[in-house]
Amino acid sequence: MARINLLPWREELRKEKQQEFFVMLGVIAVLAAAVWGVIHFYYSQRIEAQELRNKYMNDQIALLDKKIKQIKKLQKDKQRLLDRMHAIEQLQSNRPLIVHFFDDLINDLPEGVSVTQIKQSGHNIIIQGEAQSNARVSSFMRNLEASKWLKDPKLDVIQAVNTSGVRVSKFTLRLKQVVPKSNDEQKS
């Protein structure tokens, strides 16, 4: 005799397949969540590592900025010291000039001429004085021209005035102070 199955086997098969489907769906969902978690963890680690590198670079840039500021300050100090050294060297080299100027002035001053005022601006000198005559002023200028430390005397003003019944010539004279070249420099 033929066996007849009256049980609802199709419904049970459908329930089994549906249950397998949901289990597989759950497994896939868990796997997808795990893959998403791994990818998220990987990229968050990469982001943290890049942020650490950025922080390190910013710290190094800040240190270099401080060093640059220190270098600029040192360069300013160096320039200031070099300027000071240059000024001191210039003063040292010009120190004998004033001695030679007064020595030449005294030696070149003829009798009957007196100096009332001397002004110096750099190498330019202005001398004001009084003389008994114009000829004595001319003699004074010739003596200054012959000096190796003083050059180019030029007479600005000469006027005759009477003081206490005596005729006096007041004059203003401009000249330049120079450093004579040594024999070695003249040969070159």
Rounded mean pLDDT, 94-103: 78
Distance CA 108, CA 144 (A): 6
Distance CA 128, CA 173 (A): 6
Q: Mind listing the pLDDT tens digit for each residue in 162-176? A: 877 788 889 998 988
Q: Tell me if 101 sits within 8 A of 125, measured CB to CB.
A: yes
**Other beta carbons less than 10 A from residue 150's beta carbon:** 21
Q: Hey, what are 52's tokens?
A: 């650490």
Q: What is the CATH number of domain 109-182?
A: 3.30.1360
Give me the pLDDT at residue 29, please. 96
Rounded mean pLDDT, 76-96: 88
How is residue 132 annotated by DSSP? S
Rounded mean pLDDT, 53-63: 97
Greatest mean pLDDT among 76-90, 100-114, 126-140, 154-168 lies in 76-90
Higher pLDDT, 115 or 179: 115
Higher pLDDT, 130 or 180: 130
Rounded mean pLDDT, 12-41: 95
Rounded mean pLDDT, 70-89: 95
pLDDT above 70 as % of the chain: 94
pTM exceeding 0.85: no
